[in-house]
Chains A and B, each alone.
Chain A
Amino acid sequence: MLLEATMKTPEILLLGGPNSGKTHFAGQLYGRLKRRPEKLKIRSGDGSTTNLTALENVLASLEDGNAAAHTTAEQYEQIIFPLIDSNDNKLDLYWPDYGGEQLKQLFEQREVPAAWRERLVSSEGWMLFIRLSSETTYPDAIAKLASLPEERPKENLRLDTWDANAYWIELIQILCSVAGYGITAPQKKPPLAIFLSCYDENTIDGKRPSEVLKEKLPLFYQFINSNWLKDNLSIWGVSALGKTLTPESNDDSFINEGPEFQGWVVEPDSYEQNSDLTAPISWLLDKTL
C-alpha cells in the first residue's frame, strides 16, 4: 500500500549533441530492460501501458544489424519506462528523446528556451553524452613559435570553432546559470553522470573512464571536478553497440545473437567491460531516490 503511494517518477535530463549516441543507447536500454533485465526491469501487469513505438523502431533496426535513423532536430518527446528494481521499488523513468542539434543551438544562441529551462529546473539528475572521438581540440603550438618565422598574420584564416574544452564548459555554465544553481557552488547541483559514448572508438587500455576524459578534455575535467561534489559525479565509458554500425551494415552478431547481447559499459572505477547497460541509470536513480 505504501509502495504505491511513494512511487517515484524521477525525471532525468539527457544532454547530448548531435551524433553522440543518445538514440542507440535508448534503444539498447529498452532492449535490455525488456529481454535481458538485471537490476532494473520493465514493470508489467499493473495497467501502466506506455507507448514505446519510437524505441521499438530503433530496436528493430538494431536487430537487423543496422544503425537507426537520426532523430530530427525539432523533435522532443518524453518516453516513459515503467520500471521495477531488484528491491521491488516501482518507478517511472522519463526518458527524453530529441535531436541533439537543440543543445548546439542553445550554445550558439546563448539562450535557453522556456521549455528547456523548465526541464533543467525540474530534473533530478543530469546525463551528459560526450563522444570524445568527434570532439574538436587543437594542439598547443606555443613552444613551436620560437622556431617559426615571426610573421604577424595579415588575414584571419583561423577556424572559429571553439576548442571542445571551452565549448562544454560554456554550455554547462549556461545551463547551471539558467537553472539557478550558480556555476561554482557544488552543493545544490543535481547528480551528474557523464557518458563517454561510443567508448569503443577510444584507446582505453588500462585507463579508467575518468582518465580517458582527463586526457582528451583536461580543462573540462578540471571544471567538472571543481564544481560538482565527488559523490554526485560519475564518469562512465559507454558503448551502446560495442561497435560501429551503418544504416546498411547488416551486422551478423546483431542478427544472430540479438542486440541485447551487444554493447557494454565501463564503470567509473573499473577497467572492465560490463554488459549491464542500465548500470549508469541505476547509479543516477539511486542518487535521486
Chain B
Amino acid sequence: MSRCSNLNCFVHDGEQCCMGELDHQECSSWGDEEQAGRTDKKTNEKDVASRVSWSSSSLGSVDLTTIYHQTPSILIGLLGAHNTGKTTFLAANYLQLVSGNNYSSGGFCSSFTLGAWESISSWARINNEKQLPSYPPHTPRGAERNPGILHMSLKSNDDKVKNIFLTDAPGEWFTRWAIDSSSTEAEGARWTAEHSDAFLIFADCEKLCGEDRSSARRELRTIIERLGEVVGNKSTILIWAKSEHQPPEGIKKVIQRALADNVPHAVELEVTVKEPTTFMNALDALLVAAWHPQKCKKIVEPVIHHSPFYAFRGHNENT
C-alpha cells in the first residue's frame, strides 16, 4: 500500500493530507518512489552517530530560548562595571559546588555549560607548577547582542528541577548602558536588564576606597539608577565585592541611598575571596528569593468618580 513520505502525515490512515492538498495524490510527498527513499533514509539514520544538543560552551540567546521554557528557569543578570568581580563570583560558586557544597534551594543535577565553567574557574585552581592561581581574566568585550550565559540545574528536595542561568558579560556594557541605554554598545546590557528574572549588582569595594573612588561611585550609582527604571519587583542583591577593603562611610551611604531610592527591595551582602563560602551564600540568598516567581500585581480598577452610579460598567462603556 502507498504511504506518504512525510512523517507527520497520516493520509494513508484515512486522515487529511497534512499539507492541505484536497487530492492527496497531488502532494509531492505522496508516492511509492518516495516510500523507497524513506526506507533508505531510515537505514541511514541508524548508522549515523548521535550528537547532543549542547556544546558545553556558554549559551547564546538562541540556546536560551530553547532551554528556558522546557523547565522552570531563573535567569540571573550580573551587573557591574569592568573589573568588579563578576566572573570571579561565578568561578567561586562553581568551585564551591565542585568541592561538594550545595545551595539550600536544591542540589546540583546537571549543566549544559561545563566547559565554560571549567575554563573560567581553571584560573583560580592549582592547575600546574608553571602558573600561580589568579583571578579569571577580563571577559572580552565583543559586539555581541547578548552575554555568554552559564547554566546549571538544581533539584529541590521534592524533586522539582529548576534551570539557573547566569550572565557573564563585560563590565563596559553596563557602564555604557547606565549613561545611554539606547546606545548600540549597550545592546547586551539592555538585553540582560530586560530578560533577567533577578539581579546581582556588583560594587567594587577596592575601587570605592582607592584613588578612582569618585568615578567608581558615579559608575555604580548610574547603574543602580538605570536598573531602577526596569527592575519592577524582581529580586535584587547588591554585592559588596572584595569586602576585605572598607570604602569610606560617606561613599557607602551615598550608594545605599541610591539603592533605597531606586531599588527599595534590594538587599546587601558582602563577598570576599578570604571566605569563599560568602560567594555561595550570596547566590543562595538570591535563589531563595527568586525560586518562586513573583506573583502578578493585583489589578485595581481605577476610581473614576465617587458616586455609586458611575461604578456600573456596561459592556458599551467604551462606545
Contacts and interface: CB of A to CB of B under 8 A. Distances in A.
Size category of the B interface is 35 or more
Interface in B149-164: 153, 155, 161
A201 to B, nearest CB: 21
Given A110-B52, A111-B49, A150-B135, A145 B155 contact: no
Interface string B87-105: 0100110011111101000
B142 to A, nearest CB: 18
A255 B100 CA distance: 43
Given A114-B46, A152-B135, A214-B100, A145 B124 contact: yes
B111 interface: yes
A134 to B, nearest CB: 17
A139 B133 CA distance: 10
Nearest to B132: A148
B126 interface: yes
Contacts of A150: 134-135
Interface string B126-154: 11101111110110000000000000010
A183 B118 contact: no
B216 to A, nearest CB: 16
25 contacts: A110-B52, A110-B55, A117-B49, A138-B122, A138-B125, A139-B126, A142-B91, A142-B95, A142-B276, A143-B273, A143-B276, A150-B135, A152-B138, A157-B130, A160-B122, A166-B98, A169-B114, A170-B114, A173-B110, A178-B50, A214-B100, A219-B97, A222-B108, A225-B107, A226-B107
Nearest to B51: A111
B274 interface: yes
A223 B108 contact: yes
Contacts of B96: 140
B48 interface: yes
Contact of B109 (A139, A158, A166, A227): A227
Interface of B: 46-53, 55-56, 88, 91-92, 95-100, 102, 107-111, 114-115, 117-119, 122-128, 130-135, 137-138, 153, 155, 161, 244, 272-276, 279
A166 B98 CA distance: 8
Interface size class of A (residues with CB under 8 A): 35 or more
Contacts of B115: 162, 170
A151 interface: yes
B14 to A, nearest CB: 30
Contacts of B48: 114
Given A143-B275, A148-B134, 10 more contacts: A110-B55, A158-B122, A159-B122, A163-B118, A165-B98, A166-B98, A178-B50, A218-B100, A219-B108, A223-B110
A147 to B, nearest CB: 9
A166 B115 CA distance: 8
Contacts of A159: 122, 127-128
A158 B110 contact: no
Contact of A158 (B92, B111, B127): B127
Contacts of B114: 162, 166, 169-170
